[in-house]
Amino acid sequence: MIPSFVDSGYNRRMRISELANRAGVPERLGLLPAPERTDAGYRDYDEDSATRLLFVSRARGLGIACEQIAELLPAWGGSDCVSARDRIVSLIDEKQAEIAARIEELTAFAGQLQNVRESFDAVPAPTSCRTDLSCCVPPSESAFVPVELLKPSRR
């Protein structure tokens, strides 16, 4: 369901927790301008902030980084769909290229792991470990693991 930010024809004010809840994103992404404050000191967001946060939420859902969204927001400004759309298409193309490269890396790594597994299956384990540990941990050239593959992927 797409959140509605239209409130019976008036521009309603809201707190950050309500705004974040309505847009379905965490409160602290840092992509909203500083809001006005109430007499009690609460930050007071308007419907434009809700729309902006929805834009941020949907861009994050496409895997676009917060830094890239920060660059998109001034171009979009709440009304320039053409500029924002063109830039988002470009970012999607970049993200697809990154994914394709990662798939190639993971496929190669999966092949390396399979080779190590087959070498282990071909020879029974010795009764005690060797000093070079080749009996239980293959030499590094047997299975090269790029550091990037060890890190969890970021969304």
Query: What are the pLDDT digits (tens) for 52-84?
Result: 888 888 888 888 888 888 888 877 776 778 888
pTM check: above 0.75: no
Q: How far apart are CA 119 and CA 125, in angstroms?
A: 11
Question: Could you give all domains of the chain from N- to C-terminal order, each with its CATH number?
Answer: 1-79 (1.10.1660.10), 92-155 (no CATH)
Q: Are 76 and 47 in contact (CB under 8 A)?
A: no
- Please state, for a pLDDT cut of 90, what percent of the chain lies above it: 8
Cβ atoms of 83 and 76 closer than 8 Å: yes
> Phi then psi for 140, rounded to 5 degrees?
-60, -30
- Listed in sequence order, the residues at least 6 apart from 60 whose beta carbon sits closer than 8 Å to its beta carbon are 25, 29, 66, 69, 155
